Amino acid sequence: MTTLTPGAFELNDVQQQILDEAERFSREQLLPLASEMDNTEECPDDLFQLFAKHGYLGITMPEEYGGQGLGLFEQGLICQAMGKYNASAMLTWGAHDNLCGNNILRNANDDIKQRYLPGMCDGSIIGALGLTEPGAGSDALGSMATTAVKDGDEYILNGSKTYITNGPIADIVLVYAKTNLAAGHRGITAFVLETKTPGFAVAQKLSKMGYRGSPTAELVFNDCRVPAANIVGELNGGVGVVMSGLDVERIFLAPAAVGMAERCLELSLDYALTRKQFDKPIIDFQAIEFKLADMWVGVQIAKAYVYRVLAMCAEADESEAGRGAVHAHSAAAILYATKMMREAADEAVQIHGGAGYMWEMEVNRLYRDAKLLEIGAGTQEIRRGIVGKYLRGTQP
């Protein structure tokens, strides 16, 4: 595994090869699926087998589980490439490989890893993360209402989760529930729940503005029994699993914003070079040229910072100062990258004019997709709050 040294801004040869190959795969295999996925709000039944065939499952998993044995940095590069050409496929893959799989890898015991990670690596098990609830978004821990009550060697889950990526297609969900009501957020536990378990149901599949090809659902648990052996981490230790996962999720998703902005720039530049008005290409008009220049600068700045923070997170020490820096910088990186991406998508539609407003245009899809990354994995406001606490010297 090779990563950037702190402060470096260029990929080495191995990293560039990984990014180039992931872009080729995404351009050839995922881009042709993007329009239909968006229109039908479905992902192909064989999508995970496609990922597995080309070696894009289990990126951070050790080879003993059938994984690729790479690191967070490399996973982030692949996220960038997939986001560039098919954001819906990227999100479905990311919820499985990072949000669910990587959290299990980092926190679960050997038994759980042996039971679930090989299937996640070969595509026979699809994973999801179940944290957000109808009444618990930014306050996901404090307002959590889902409970898990011990009954012998099992826990009985009751409650619901919403906005769950892969919810309609998942075989397992890494779900969080309160196991000690008196302890508040210190009484939350993480479980691996198999969706074939009696009492589990997909209450509804949700229709979204963007990322429409990535299936999202509300999940319900009605006296749903989960073995105590499926606890991830420690009993009542779910807050640690959540927080370590959120830092990784934020910096993992930040490269997707970079990739999407790159695609907005590519499409806009091509259009500006070929679209003629007043007998000349519209790129000859300074108003359009300046928009393209600003998009390019934004991509370069975001890419440099995101790569730096990816390297920091991949190599971070476990000291209090190290964790605080990762917490702040991962929030800052996705804060900047997603704001830049939304602005790039807005300018891309503007450059395309009336054509950009048409549903079937790729820039239209990118525009609709852009907003989610300013909400998921902590809103922009939450991210600014994390950075603010860090600046005040308070451990976030």
| Chain centre to alpha carbon of residue 142 | 23
- DSSP of 284-344: GSHHHHHHHHHHHHHHHHHHHHHHHHHHHHHT--SSHHHHHHHHHHHHHHHHHHHHHHHHH
Active-site residue 381, yes or no? no
232: nearest Cα among 283, 318, 142, 172: 172
pLDDT digits (tens, 9 = 90+) for 190-212: 999 999 999 999 999 999 999 99
Residue 137 to residues 79, 245, 373, Cα–Cα distance (Å) = 24, 16, 14
Residue pLDDT, tens place only, 335-386: 999 999 999 999 999 999 999 999 999 999 999 999 999 998 889 999 999 9
Whole-number Å distance between alpha carbons of 4 and 2:
7
Q: Read off the pLDDT of residues 72-87 as tens digits, 9 standing for 90 and up.
A: 999 999 999 999 999 9
What's the pTM?
0.94
Find the catalytic residue in 249, 262, 347, 374: 249
Q: Cβ–Cβ contacts within 10 Å for residue 279, how many? A: 6
